[in-house]
Chains A and B, each alone.
Chain A
């Protein structure tokens, strides 16, 4: 079973920040929080990951609460091309780093024009 809980769907206006929440209350100390997205008919695309500090890259920002039980993915200026299913996944880097990703149902983010 997936170890994360996400809302099934969200809407966001084009040009606004999209904030996608994720609960992972049973996360263990060596597990990272990963975000992927899947645009229709494409393979899942890596967005960002973090352990306990906030992270930012060219695609998004990841805010992890101090107790690490939840996180938020922020797309700062959403565009129509950001419409996709967003998956929050917890994953350990142990075991040689070869642990796979366990996908839940994700959040279907719809960007409205």
Chain B
């Protein structure tokens, strides 16, 4: 199994630009999570989907952040417009059985 696949692995962008992070969950997993990790705040849950439907987006920091899951094998996290304080590692994870598996993360730097 290829595990949870995220792209891009690294992105550097200028403030004000749109950023789209992508995630392919493990095949057969019905729940998908987006997390953000920073030195100051650690790992934070942003949003999760169950059967492609957003269940809880209370962790999404502001309206500049949006997430979609158009089908069971693909999700996106979009930031528009991006700001320097959005610089972080963004992790996608999927749930199989009772265990959550994480991707390797997308390292975002907004300058």
Contacts and interface: CB of A to CB of B under 8 A. Distances in A.
Interface stretch (B11-19, B62-70, B74-82, B98-106): B98-106
| Nearest 5 interchain pairs by C-beta | A43-B102, A103-B43, A98-B31, A98-B50, A100-B45
Contacts of A101: 33, 45, 100
A43 B105 contact: yes
A42 B104 contact: yes
A61 to B, nearest CB: 17
Interface residues of A, number: 17
Interface of B: 4, 30-31, 33, 42-45, 48, 50, 55-56, 91, 93, 95, 97-105
Tell me if A's interface is mostly helix, strand, loop or mixed.
loop
B43 to A, nearest CB: 4
A93 B30 CA distance: 14
A96 B99 CA distance: 13
Given A43-B93, A98-B31, 10 more contacts: A42-B105, A43-B104, A43-B105, A44-B93, A96-B50, A97-B31, A98-B48, A98-B95, A101-B45, A101-B100
A48 to B, nearest CB: 10
B100 A100 contact: yes
